[in-house]
């Protein structure tokens, strides 16, 4: 069966998935946004759908922290920002009546802290910061560097790079075998310039610039989802991202079974079978089809020995890499730093610090430190107490008064979160070749989730939902064929 293209899926979805005749019964593994959307559409079409979720809540990486904060403060552990181009996310937010508001980004003063000094991204401020820039970089400012080292490369690869259906054309292919770092240095960027640009377009790639695919990165940077193309229509879910999966879950009610980790998936010509742990007992359920939405970072906990998967699928499950991200949240008695709605990229090991509560009434505030790559992996192996102590020391060096105003904290180490074990896919060199194999259904077993998207930088709510739409089209085609 030929796979529907990205454009075909979008067209089918926008016209309400006409003629989707679902299988009689489907088991969905995972109640993240991808699994919830698949189940929501199937339930609306009278399919007998069962969602098995390992944890005790819906949403997966769409996860808002409300504890241990005072005064109703909250912070996002995972997904936070939506663009008006997040087509699938915007569709479901509207359908479910979930409100959005302007993203924090637009009310933020972004600046740097390096070598013990604060400076802004504009040319004069950067030139005075005493960084090891090449002479030709001194008057560029960070905007000029991005123009020269990123936009110019991306522009040279159009129209292929922004084609609506992602395909690695002959012109693009070499970039999938180069790392982000290689492309930047080949264009003449100094390490100091790379350090300045990184938080603006790369931090969300996990900080592993020397292994990340330049092609995946360029596709993202040239897209309307890149920070460089941000506009005031960028949004976030009002009162916390978790409201989004909760709205799905309220509709699905008892079709979702919590604390039901799936440990085995099998199939034969007639049925698919799923073994699940229920209060310490193993239970096997059957359905016509199974949709697995578990990130490949955590899939090794499921046994597929008798699932008849191809070697290529087993191989790709082992090979796909995920970014390491740690977010530490410090509740402060009040704002003691002078900058309004601060967001700082630093040369300290804590990397990025921001006011995570710019629009909440205060006076209390949450300062968030976000680390990626090896720094994230390093603080992940600390105890919670050690991590907090380490982060507070670093914040104090930059914003004196942090210890005095500190009240409480929590942190999320995505590599160590059960059932996630990573933040989002890190498309390494050569990733494009893996993408069709990740998505491909194998008999009665289908694969959805942000890693199984059409876009190489899958880590986004809308791409998770797009993968759900693609899977629904696939299920419909499979039912028609049987």
Q: x-or-dash pattern for ligand FAD, window 4-23, by CB under 6 A?
A: --------------------
Q: Which CB atom, from 189 or from 307, has the smaller least distance to ligand FAD?
A: 307
Q: How far is residue 296's CA from residue 249's CA, in Å, rounded to a whole number?
A: 23
Q: Please name the residues in contact with 380: beta carbons below 8 A apart, sequence gap of 6 or more.
A: 324, 326, 413, 415, 416
Q: Which CB atom, from 22 or from 459, has the smaller least distance to ligand FAD?
A: 459
Q: Least separation, in Å, of the C-beta of 219 and ligand FAD?
A: 16
Q: How far is residue 255's CA from residue 277's CA, in Å, rounded to a whole number?
A: 17
Q: Is the Cβ–Cβ distance between 411 and 417 less than 8 Å? A: no
Crossing angle, helix 461-481 and helix 33-43, to 10 degrees?
40
Considering only residues 42, 150, 464, 469, which one is a binding residue for ligand FAD as defined by CB under 6 A?
464
**H/E run at residue 367:** strand 365-372
Torsion of CA 111, 114, 118, 122, to 10 degrees: -50
Length of the chain: 482
Whole-angstrom CA distances from 98 to 72, 73, 95, 143 are 19, 19, 8, 35
Asked if 262 touches ligand FAD (CB under 6 A), the answer is: yes
Q: How far is residue 207's CA from residue 199's CA, in Å, rounded to a whole number?
A: 9
Indicate the residue whose CB is closest to ligand FAD.
Answer: 32
Q: x-or-dash pattern for ligand FAD, window 30-69, by CB under 6 A?
A: xxxxxx----------------xxxx----xxx-------
Asked if 307 touches ligand FAD (CB under 6 A), the answer is: no
3 state SS of 392: helix
Q: Which CB atom, from 82 or from 222, has the smaller least distance to ligand FAD?
A: 82
Considering only residues 293, 331, 346, 411, which one is a binding residue for ligand FAD as defined by CB under 6 A?
293
Considering only residues 146, 459, 470, 478, which one is a binding residue for ligand FAD as defined by CB under 6 A?
459
Instruction: Break the chain down into helix, strand, coil percent, rounded to 5.
Output: 40, 20, 40
Considering only residues 27, 28, 29, 153, which one is a binding residue for ligand FAD as defined by CB under 6 A?
29
Torsion of CA 446, 449, 450, 454, to 10 degrees: 20
Q: Least separation, in Å, of the C-beta of 465 and ligand FAD?
A: 8
Q: x-or-dash pattern for ligand FAD, window 178-217, by CB under 6 A?
A: ----------------------------------------
Q: Which CB atom, from 54 or from 140, has the smaller least distance to ligand FAD?
A: 54
Considering only residues 17, 38, 65, 80, which one is a binding residue for ligand FAD as defined by CB under 6 A?
80
Q: Which CB atom, from 405 or from 446, has the smaller least distance to ligand FAD?
A: 446
DSSP category for residue 442: B
Considering only residues 88, 92, 119, 424, which one is a binding residue for ligand FAD as defined by CB under 6 A?
424
Angle subtended at Cα 324 by Cα 319 and Cα 325, rounded to the nearest 5 degrees: 150
DSSP category for residue 255: G
Asked if 343 touches ligand FAD (CB under 6 A), the answer is: no
Considering only residues 136, 171, 301, 397, which one is a binding residue for ligand FAD as defined by CB under 6 A?
301
Q: Least separation, in Å, of the C-beta of 342 and ligand FAD?
A: 19
Angle subtended at Cα 314 by Cα 313 and Cα 315, rounded to the nearest 5 degrees: 90
Q: Please name the residues in contact with 73: beta carbons below 8 A apart, sequence gap of 6 or more.
A: 331, 357, 360, 364, 365, 366
Q: Which stretch binds ligand FAD (CB under 6 A): 18-26, 130-138, 195-203, 293-301?
A: 293-301
Q: Which CB atom, from 210 or from 300, has the smaller least distance to ligand FAD?
A: 300
Q: How far is residue 257's CA from residue 54's CA, in Å, rounded to a whole number?
A: 8
Q: Which CB atom, from 81 or from 409, has the smaller least distance to ligand FAD?
A: 81
Place of tokens 């079409």: 45
Q: Which CB atom, from 59 or from 141, has the smaller least distance to ligand FAD?
A: 59
Considering only residues 22, 206, 207, 261, which one is a binding residue for ligand FAD as defined by CB under 6 A?
261
Considering only residues 43, 79, 212, 291, which one is a binding residue for ligand FAD as defined by CB under 6 A?
79
Phi, psi of 323 (to 5 degrees): -75, 145
Chain residues in the site for ligand FAD (CB under 6 A): 29-35, 52-55, 60-62, 78-81, 261-262, 293-295, 298, 301-302, 325, 414, 419-420, 423-424, 449-450, 459-462, 464
């Amino acid at each position: 069966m030929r796979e529907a293209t990205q454009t075909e899926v979008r067209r089918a979805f926008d016209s309400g998935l006409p003629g989707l005749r679902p299988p009689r019964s489907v088991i969905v593994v995972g109640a993240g946004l991808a699994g919830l959307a698949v189940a929501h559409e199937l339930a609306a079409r009278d399919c007998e759908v069962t969602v098995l979720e390992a944890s005790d809540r819906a949403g997966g990486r769409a996860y808002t922290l409300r504890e241990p904060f005072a005064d109703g403060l909250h912070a996002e552990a995972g997904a936070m920002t939506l663009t008006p181009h997040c087509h699938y996310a915007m569709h479901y937010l509207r359908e479910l009546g979930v409100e959005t508001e302007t993203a924090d980004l637009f009310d933020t003063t972004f600046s740097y802290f390096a070598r013990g000094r604060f400076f802004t991204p504009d040319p004069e401020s950067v030139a005075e910061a005493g960084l090891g820039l090449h002479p030709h970089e001194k008057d560029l400012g960070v905007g000029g560097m991005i123009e020269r080292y990123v936009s110019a490369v991306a522009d040279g690869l159009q129209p292929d790079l922004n084609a609506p259906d992602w395909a690695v054309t002959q012109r693009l292919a070499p970039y999938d075998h180069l790392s982000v770092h290689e492309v930047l240095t080949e264009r003449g960027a100094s390490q100091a310039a790379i350090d300045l640009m990184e938080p603006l377009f790369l931090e969300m790639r996990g900080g592993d610039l020397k292994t990340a695919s330049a092609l995946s990165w360029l596709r993202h940077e040239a897209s309307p989802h890149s920070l460089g193309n941000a506009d005031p229509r960028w949004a976030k879910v009002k009162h916390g991202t978790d409201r989004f999966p909760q709205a799905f879950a309220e509709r699905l009610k008892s079709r979702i079974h919590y604390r039901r980790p799936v440990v085995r998936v099998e199939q034969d010509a007639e049925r698919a079978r799923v073994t699940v742990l229920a209060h310490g007992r193993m239970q096997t359920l059957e359905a016509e089809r199974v949709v697995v939405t578990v990130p490949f970072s955590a899939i090794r906990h499921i046994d597929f020995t008798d699932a008849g998967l191809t070697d290529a699928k087993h191989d790709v499950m082992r090979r796909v890499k995920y970014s390491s991200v740690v977010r530490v949240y410090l509740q402060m008695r009040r704002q003691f730093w002078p900058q309004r709605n601060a967001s700082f990229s630093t040369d300290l090991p804590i990397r990025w610090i921001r006011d995570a509560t710019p629009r909440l009434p205060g006076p209390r505030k949450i300062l968030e430190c976000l680390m990626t790559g090896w720094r994230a992996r390093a603080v992940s192996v600390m105890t919670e107490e050690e991590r907090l102590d380490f982060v507070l020391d670093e914040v104090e060096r930059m914003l004196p008064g942090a210890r005095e105003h500190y009240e409480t904290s929590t942190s999320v180490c995505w590599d160590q979160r059960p059932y996630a074990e990573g933040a989002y896919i890190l498309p390494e060199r050569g990733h494009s070749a893996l993408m069709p194999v990740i998505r491909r259904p194998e008999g009665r077993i289908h694969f959805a989730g942000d890693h199984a998207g059409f876009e190489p930088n899958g880590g986004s709510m809308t791409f998770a939902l797009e993968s759900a739409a693609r899977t629904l089209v696939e299920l419909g085609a499979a039912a028609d064929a049987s």
